[in-house]
């Protein structure tokens, strides 16, 4: 009770009563009689407590409901604000969509114009390409004729060279026969000379002996004649011998030139064989080129820059090396184009994926646009209903104001003279009039709503038709945009290919220009290996040409031209230079070998403690670093070992170590290691 009296909301006590307070309560409770007054007081107290408890519970429930209502009001207010924000965002999105739609329509118009212009330019380019293709085919035919003429000229030159080689072979055979016959004659003449010398010696001896015996003049004259005849005959033999020697020299030179020509003929035959192979390859390549040109003729679009580049390469071809070089270049370009094709396919796949995503986004935007238009229609309906309600409320307000004015006028005119019945009748008339007017207004509003609904239905049907038309036009435009994008991507790829070809050709031109400049710079060098090689080849070519011209222009005289001697001399000098270079290289390698061998010996000495000395006859002398005066001599051929370490002052048990480590166990490294340890101990003891 005290708690409730103090203003607490709970009917229960916060703390239990103390004994003193309980006594006080008991003292405050009145003492009634036994007749029943005490029971009546207790009932009243219980009723008061229950009523106070009910009051507190009702207050608590009211507070809870009030808080719930406040919370609901806040949530409804928040939802209202969020819906207003969403409506504003939707309005902004619709404005943005309308603006983007207009901009896309403008871009579509510009793309149509660009596409028409580009198609016209492509048609003109295609016509130009066709015309250029015809020109190139004509040039290819002309080049074929030129190459066929050149091939016929080369074949005729080859036949002439073969005939000349056959003539040279016949001439060499004839020279061999002459040499063999002259060698037989020389042998016969030598035998005759020997016989005549023997006769002369016999005659001299017989003449000396007969001179003492016979002093007659006739014998002397006969002997003198005989001597004169012998002298003449010997002179003739000497002249014939000199002639034969000169002829032998000539024949030797001819034989050497024959061998040289034979070698050159073999080289030429090898070259002819290689030329025949290259000719076959060239014919195969020509067939391949014809097939490729037939394929190119079947194509709709032809790469003019690449064809002009091919024509330039075909014009520059002079030998099979150029064909191989161009084939390698084309192979590299083919690999580059394959890589570019793979990249383009990847980019096209990515573009397709992006196009599909754009189409999905476009469909989503169309759905959003439809939803937005539907929301706009609903909003218009709501706005129209609100406007109607507003008009209705305005009309009601006007009527009420008018009625109030009439009522005021009526009250002022009546001034309280009329009775209550008349006032009631006027009020009834006013109420009836108000009811009639409200019914008229409601009927008119119903009629207006029906008309508005019909208009909205018609407008929605027209909007649906327009939407279907717009959606079909949008799908058509999207398809056209996709086609134009694909054409644009193909054109961009073509442009990229042309640019790569242009850059490749520009790089080649730069390389050629740089090569020319480098050639000029290299010519300033004096000892360049490339220049030396070129000089040697050029000199050999000049000497061979001069020798060939001299041999062809030689009129059947048995003389060797000077150019043959010059070529032989040049080859001799070249061989001497090669020998000098090889000897120089050998000396350098020998020095390097000696240096590395010394390094090897030093490393072995520092790591293993032995100094190796390689001698002749496959012998190796080994010195220990702890006893340099003593050594081990190893013969690798005879597998023997000789040493001066087997003395008692050095190693006393030499024979035992040799028997244990080499004869029994066959471990030479362990034997050398034990010797090293023994020598180290001896040197340490001496220190």
- Over residues 615-634, the pLDDT tens digits come to 878 888 888 888 888 888 88
Q: Is residue 325 part of a domain?
A: yes
Q: How many CB atoms lie within 10 A of CB 136?
A: 19
Per-residue pLDDT of 126-135, as tens digits, reads 788 778 778 8
Q: Are residues 70 and 157 both part of a single domain? A: yes
Q: Are residues 494 and 619 both part of a single domain? A: no
Q: Are residues 497 and 544 both part of a single domain? A: no
CA dihedral sign, ordered 67, 71, 76, 80:
positive
Q: Is residue 630 part of a domain?
A: yes
Q: Is residue 10 part of a domain?
A: no
Q: Is residue 69 part of a domain?
A: yes
Per-residue pLDDT of 312-329, as tens digits, reads 444 454 455 566 677 778
Per-residue pLDDT of 167-191, as tens digits, reads 767 776 776 777 677 667 777 777 7
Last residue of a domain, one of 316, 334, 353: 316
Token pair for 232:
């003449």
307 burial (CB, 10 Å; 0-12 / 13-18 / 19+) is: buried
> 3-state SS of 591-659?
HHHHHHHHHHHHHHHHHHCEEEEEECCCEEEEEECCCCCCEEEEECCCCEEEECCCCCCCCCCHHHHHH
Last residue of a domain, one of 254, 285, 316: 316
Q: Are residues 635 and 533 both part of a single domain? A: no
Identify the pLDDT of residue 314: 47
Identify the pLDDT of residue 25: 38
Identify the pLDDT of residue 427: 59
Q: Are residues 200 and 304 both part of a single domain? A: yes
Nearest to 625 by CA among 588, 677, 583, 576: 677
pLDDT mean by block of 10 residues, the chain; 687 residues: 40 40 40 50 80 81 80 79 77 74 76 79 78 78 74 74 73 72 73 74 62 55 70 72 73 72 75 74 74 60 43 48 71 79 76 76 77 77 75 74 73 58 60 69 71 70 60 64 75 81 80 58 58 82 86 70 83 88 90 87 81 82 84 84 78 85 86 87 80
Last residue of a domain, one of 523, 557, 573: 523
Q: Are residues 433 and 356 both part of a single domain? A: yes
Identify the pLDDT of residue 604: 80
Q: Are residues 384 and 513 both part of a single domain? A: yes
68 burial (CB, 10 Å; 0-12 / 13-18 / 19+) is: exposed
Q: Are residues 519 and 565 both part of a single domain? A: no
Q: Is residue 483 part of a domain?
A: yes
Identify the pLDDT of residue 80: 76
Instruction: Please count the structural domains in the chain.
Output: 4
Range 619-647 burial, b when 16+ CB lie within 10 A, else e: beebbbebbeebbbebeeeeeeeebebee
Domain at 656, CATH number: 3.30.457.60
Q: Is residue 143 part of a domain?
A: yes
Rounded (to 5) percent helix, strand, coil in the chain: 85, 5, 10
Residue 228's Cα: distance from chain center in Å?
Answer: 99
Per-residue pLDDT of 411-470, as tens digits, reads 676 655 554 455 556 656 666 776 677 677 667 766 776 776 777 677 666 666 655 555
Q: Are residues 326 and 295 both part of a single domain? A: no
Distance between CA 37 and CA 325 in Å, rounded? 138
Q: Are residues 343 and 305 both part of a single domain? A: no
Residue 16 backbone dihedrals phi, psi, to 5 degrees: -70, 155
Identify the pLDDT of residue 428: 63
Taking every pair of Cα atoms in the chain, the longest distance, rounded to a whole number of angstroms, is 232
Q: Is residue 497 part of a domain?
A: yes
Q: Are residues 506 and 538 both part of a single domain? A: no
Q: Are residues 575 and 644 both part of a single domain? A: no
Q: Is residue 133 part of a domain?
A: yes
Identify the pLDDT of residue 417: 52
Range of the domain at 501: 320-523
């Amino acid at each position: 009770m005290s708690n409730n009296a103090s203003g607490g909301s709970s009917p229960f006590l916060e703390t239990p009563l103390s004994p003193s307070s309980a006594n006080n309560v008991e003292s405050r409770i009145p003492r009634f009689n036994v007749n029943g007054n005490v029971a009546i007081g207790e009932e009243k107290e219980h009723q008061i407590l229950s009523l106070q408890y009910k009051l507190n519970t009702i207050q608590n429930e009211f507070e809870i409901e009030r808080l719930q209502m406040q919370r609901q009001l806040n949530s409804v207010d928040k939802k209202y604000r969020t819906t207003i924000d969403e409506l504003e965002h939707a309005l902004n999105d619709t404005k943005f969509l309308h603006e983007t739609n207009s901009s896309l329509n403008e871009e579509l118009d510009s793309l149509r114009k660009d596409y028409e212009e580009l198609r016209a330019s492509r048609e003109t380019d295609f016509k130009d390409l066709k015309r250029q293709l015809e020109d190139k085919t004509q040039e290819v035919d002309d080049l074929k004729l030129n190459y066929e003429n050149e091939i016929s000229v080369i074949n005729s030159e080859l036949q002439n060279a073969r005939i000349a080689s056959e003539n040279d072979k016949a001439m060499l055979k004839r020279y061999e026969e002459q040499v063999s016959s002259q060698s037989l004659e020389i042998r016969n003449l030598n035998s005759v000379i020997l016989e005549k010398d023997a006769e002369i010696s016999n005659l001299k001896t017989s003449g000396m002996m007969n001179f003492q015996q016979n002093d007659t003049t006739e014998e002397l004259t006969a002997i003198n004649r005989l001597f004169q005849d012998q002298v003449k005959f010997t002179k003739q033999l000497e002249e014939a011998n000199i002639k034969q020697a000169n002829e032998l020299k000539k024949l030797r030179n001819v034989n050497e030139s024959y061998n040289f020509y034979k070698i050159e003929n073999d080289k030429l035959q090898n070259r002819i064989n290689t030329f025949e192979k290259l000719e076959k390859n060239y014919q195969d390549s020509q067939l391949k080129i014809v097939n490729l040109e037939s394929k190119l003729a079947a194509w709709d679009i032809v790469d003019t820059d690449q064809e002009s580049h091919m024509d330039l390469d075909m014009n520059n071809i002079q030998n099979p090396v150029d064909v191989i070089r161009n084939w390698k270049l084309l192979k590299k370009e083919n690999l580059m184009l394959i890589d570019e094709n793979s990249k383009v396919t990847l980019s096209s796949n990515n573009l397709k994926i992006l196009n599909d995503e754009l189409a999905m986004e476009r469909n989503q935007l169309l759905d959003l646009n439809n939803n937005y238009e539907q929301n706009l229609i609903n909003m218009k309906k709501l706005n129209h209903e609100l406007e109607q309600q507003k008009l209705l409320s305005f009309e009601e307000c006007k009527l009420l104001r008018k009625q109030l004015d009439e009522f005021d006028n009526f009250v002022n005119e009546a001034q309280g003279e009329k009775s209550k019945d008349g006032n009631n009748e006027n009020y009834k008339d006013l109420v009836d009039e108000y009811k009639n007017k409200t019914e008229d207004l409601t009927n008119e509003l119903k009629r207006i709503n029906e008309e508005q609904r019909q208009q909205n239905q018609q407008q929605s049907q027209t909007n649906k038709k327009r939407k279907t038309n717009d959606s079909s036009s949008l799908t058509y435009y999207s398809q056209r945009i996709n086609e134009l994008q694909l054409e644009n991507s193909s054109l961009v790829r073509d442009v990229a290919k042309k640019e790569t070809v242009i850059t490749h050709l520009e790089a080649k031109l730069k390389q050629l220009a740089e090569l020319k400049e480098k050639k000029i710079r290299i010519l300033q060098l004096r000892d360049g290996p490339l220049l030396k090689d070129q000089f040697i080849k050029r000199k050999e070519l000049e000497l061979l040409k001069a020798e060939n011209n001299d041999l062809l222009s030689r009129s059947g005289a048995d003389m060797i031209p000077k150019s043959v001697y010059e070529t032989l001399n040049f080859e001799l000098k070249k061989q001497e230079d090669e020998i000098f270079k090889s000897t120089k290289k050998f000396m350098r390698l020998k020095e390097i070998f000696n240096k590395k061998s010394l390094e090897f010996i030093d490393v072995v000495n520092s790591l293993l403690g032995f100094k190796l000395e390689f001698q002749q006859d496959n012998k190796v002398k080994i010195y220990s670093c702890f006893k340099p005066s003593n050594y081990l001599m190893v013969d690798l051929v005879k597998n023997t070992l000789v040493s001066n370490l087997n003395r008692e002052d050095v190693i006393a048990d030499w024979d035992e170590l040799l028997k244990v480590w080499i004869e029994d166990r066959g471990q030479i490294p362990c034997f050398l290691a034990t010797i090293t340890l023994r020598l180290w101990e001896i040197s340490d003891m001496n220190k």
